[in-house]
Amino acid sequence: MATPRLTAKDFDQELLILFDAYVHGVVDRRGFLERAQKYATAGVTAVGLLAALSPNFALAQQIKPDDARIKTEWITYQSPQGSGSIKGYLARPASSGVGAGAAKLPAILVVHENRGLNPHIEDIVRRFALEGYMAFAPDALTPLGGYPGDEDKAREAFAKLDQTKVREDFIAGAGWFKARPDGTGKMGVTGFCFGGGVAHMLATRMPDLNAAAPFYGNHPAAEEAVKVKAPLLIHFAGIDERINAAWPAYEAALKAAGGRYTAHSYAGTQHGFHNDTTPRFDASAAKLAWERTLAFFAQHLGS
């Protein structure tokens, strides 16, 4: 009999907050384990708690890399203002064809969390391809060798990146992706946590962006809202004070600038609720947010 999948309700809320601090580099592994010890119970150590809260990529994979319905490839683009050659993962529906005769598809840029292009984000790219899009996810860790295959090492590497260069890398990647000859010229962007912040940033830097759907990402400074021309679909976790506290000021700035946006908060959910590799995943909220995102992109990009 399969072991029941753990959810956020199986953990103390303060432990979840501590884990969020660990994920975002506020506390290191040792600090997490020391502070998590108070939540350990008979037979469950602090190390066990960390393992239980950490991603399980195999458990959550929805689309296998070799799925015959899609075509995937690893490609690079140049970011002359950033870090040179950046590697990324591209997927298209196999039915769209290849080469000069390939059908032109709307594009969706997918931006990872603060661990680089891990297997979960690759799976998200494939999910969009099955919906009829050309989807692409750059790896911000490319200058440091790419995603290392270990979440702790990925977090450590991510903290060493020059974030100014990272932003330029994503801006260059978005421009390159939007202009691909096998695209329709319409592009949307979505991202999660760090990636949600990048999606917000791109909306302020790309006047020709067609749509942006950030998930629980940091907002730009309020004065940047006037630069947003694309429609926004913004997803918030209900229990996520670190992100949610800045929203009222940015929302007021968007309203004042005449920005087009829709914001949804999913009651009772944790930061990272869409990521189905960890117990913070909320199945019903993730399903609803995904359906809303697909409808949003279909409206503004076509499919």
Encoding tokens for residue 227? Answer: 């630069």
The per-residue pLDDT for range 228-260, each reduced to its tens digit, is 999 999 999 999 999 999 999 999 999 999 999
Right CATH for 58-301 from 3.50.50.100, 3.30.1280.10, 2.102.10.10, 3.40.50.1820 = 3.40.50.1820
Write down the pLDDT at residue 79: 87
Q: Which of 67-79 are b and which e, b meaning 16 or more Cβ less than 10 Å from the residue's Cβ?
A: eeebbbeeeebeb
pLDDT (0 to 100) of residue 1: 40
What percent of the chain has a predicted confidence (pLDDT) above 90?
A: 86
Per residue in 174-220, pLDDT tens? 999 999 999 999 999 999 999 999 999 999 999 999 999 999 999 99
Question: What is the Cα gyration radius of the chain?
Answer: 19
Q: Report residue 3's pLDDT band, with 50, 70 and 90 as the boundaries.
A: low
Q: pLDDT band at 167, cuts 50/70/90? A: very high
Least confident of 4-8, 92-96, 137-141, 275-279: 4-8
Query: Residue 265 above 50 pLDDT?
Result: yes
Nearest to 141 by CA among 154, 124, 122, 123: 154
Backbone angles phi, psi at 72, to 5 degrees: -120, 155
| Mean pLDDT of all residues in 278-289 | 96
Q: Residue 4: what pLDDT?
A: 66
Q: For CATH 3.40.50.1820, list the domain ranges present in the chain.
A: 58-301
How do residues 15-69 score in pLDDT, each as one tens digit? 999 999 999 889 999 999 999 998 887 678 999 999 999 999 988 899 999 999 9
Average pLDDT over residues 262-289: 97
The chain-wide mean pLDDT, for the chain, equals 94
Question: What span, in angstroms and rounded, lies between the C-alpha atoms of 154 and 275?
Answer: 17
Q: How confident is the model at residue 78 (pLDDT cuts 50, 70, 90)?
A: very high
Q: How far apart are CA 257 and CA 226, in angstroms?
A: 5
Judge residue 42's burial from the number of C-beta atoms within 10 Å of its C-beta, 0-12 exposed, 13-18 middle, 19 or more buried. exposed
